[in-house]
Amino acid sequence: MSEILELSGVTKRFGGLTAVADASIAVAPGRVHGLIGPNGAGKSTTIGLISGFLRADSGTIRFADRDLHRLRPTAIAALGIARTFQQAAPLAGLSVFENLLVGMHRRYRSGLAAVLLGAPRSFQEAKEIAASAQELLELFGLAAQAESDARLLTFGQLRFLEIARAIAMRPRILLLDEPAAGLNQVERDRLAALIRRFRDEGVGMLLVDHDVPFVFELCDEMTVMNFGSIIASGEPAAVRSNPEVRAAYLGSDDGTG
């Protein structure tokens, strides 16, 4: 498939520090594109630039042939780009189910407040959205916690709620910032299965994570950054064998260091 998200020559500076230098990355629907590199390489900054939380100093970011340069994060999300954050933070005072409803706000014709308050005009819509939310909760293993205060979830459960809330937006592109960080092996396996499922449903993903085996197992394409610059890009096998990548990040033994 042709790329739907394209970064071309993107640069971002913070004072005298160049966090991202002349980066070009493309993500296609139904594909998982891995973005890896050492700490401080510019990976999370790149996600911030795509999602509108940061502004590029130069270069272009286009989604479905639309320039994202001056759009706010809410406008970018409305176009179909969802993101997760390294620190999963639920909305205080809301249940797990209600947190997920907030992720579905783009789908409300009656308005979020009307749905949450059960206004008569929104009754049928609320039923449909509740059924969709319940399906997501079951898919992410959170159905038993639906009515619990989201702040009481375990670290892993919070991580899954964060991703479920992004998926609830029905994105065309999903930006995943360190989704496997802090998860145990059972949770990593569940996350990997979910990523494959959404990829097979046509969602394009940009996956940033320090768990190198996890990323290489899942990704169709890879980009490697170091000190803000892209040092390699291509299929995982080619990237893994790239001498510059091994020297900068993977190590020289088994490619997983």
Note the pLDDT tens digit of each residue in 90-131. 888 899 998 888 877 666 555 555 555 555 555 666 677 888
Contact 11, 60 (CB under 8 A): no
Alpha carbons 255 and 12: distance in angstroms, whole number: 30
Calpha distance 94→96 (Å, rounded): 7
Considering only CA atoms, which of 220, 223, 237, 156 is closest in space to residue 191? 156
Domains along the chain?
Answer: 5-90+166-250 (3.40.50.300)
Q: What share of the chain is helix, strand, coil (3-state, %, to 5)?
A: 40, 25, 35
pTM of the model: 0.88
pLDDT in tens, 17-54: 999 999 999 999 999 999 999 999 999 999 999 999 99
Could you tell me how far CA 189 lies from the centroid of its own chain? 17
